[in-house]
Chains A and B, each alone.
Chain A
Amino acid sequence: DAGVIQSPRHEVTEMGQEVTLRCKPISGHDYLFWYRQTMMRGLELLIYFNNNVPIDDSGMPEDRFSAKMPNASFSTLKIQPSEPRDSAVYFCASSLTGTGKGEQYFGPGTRLTVT
C-alpha cells in the first residue's frame, strides 16, 4: 500500500483566499484524522471521521475550517477565508480501529503558508 497520501505538499496563499487540503487514507482503514502542527501548540487533533461520518470536530479552531469525507478514499480540509495564523503543517492520518489501541498512520503533511 502507498500509505496515506496528502496533496499538495506545500501551499502558499494570500490572506483571504480559500485553501483546500486533500487526503487519501490507507485502503480499508475506517478512521481518518486531521491534525495541525505548529511550534507553539504542537500537534492538535482537529477532527476525526469514522466510516466517512464526522464524529468529533471539537478541535476545529473556528467556522472558517470545514472538513468532509465524501467517500472512504478521500477527505478534504478547507479553510475559507485563510489567515496568517493558519500557517502550519496539516497532517492526515488513518487507522483500522478507533479504540485507542491501534496505530495511526500519518501522511507526509501539507505545509501551509498564508501571507
Chain B
Amino acid sequence: AQSVTQLDSQVPVFEEAPVELRCNYSSSVSVYLFWYVQYPNQGLQLLLKYLSGSTLVKGINGFEAEFNKSQTSFHLRKPSVHISDTAEYFCAVSSSNYKLTFGKGTLLTVNP
C-alpha cells in the first residue's frame, strides 16, 4: 500500500517570500510522484511530476520539487511567491498501476 503525508495543512507567507510545501510518502515499490494545484472552485491541475532521472523537477508557474529517495520526500518549492499562487496544493503518488493516492492538501495563502 502507498500513502502520502503532507506535513502542513496551512502555510501563510508574504508576497515575494520563498515557500516550501512538504510531502513525504511511503510505498513498498518504485513510485511516481506528482504535485497538483487546486484554485478555488476549480478542479486539480498538474504542477509537475517525477517519473525517473534527475531528482530536481521543474514545473509550471516557477515551482520545482526535489525527489529524495532516502528520505522518501518530494518537497515543493518556489523562490518568490505571488498573490496568484494562493491555492491548495496536493502531493500524490502512484506506482505501476493507475491509482493516484493523494495527500490531504496544503493551503498556501499568500498575503500582500
User: Could you give, for residues 71-112 of chain B, a 1 whenever the CB lies within 8 Å of some chain A CB and a 0 otherwise?
Assistant: 000000000000000000010001111111011110000000
Q: In A76-96, which residues have CB < 8 Å from any B CB?
A: 91, 93, 95
- CB <8 Å contact, B32 and A101: yes
Contact status B102-A98, CB under 8 Å = no
Per the CB 8 Å criterion, the residue count for chain B at the interface is 23
Chain B residues with Cβ below 8 Å from A43 are: 44, 90, 102, 105
Question: How far is A101 from B97 in the complex, measured between Cα atoms in Å?
Answer: 9
Q: Are B44 and A98 in contact (CB under 8 A)?
A: no
> Shortest Cβ distance from A49 into chain B, in angstroms?
10
* B residues in contact with A4, CB < 8 Å: 43
Task: With A31-B98, A99-B96 as known contacts, state yes or no: A91 contacts B43, CB within 8 Å.
Answer: yes
Would you call B97 and A106 a contact (CB within 8 A)? no
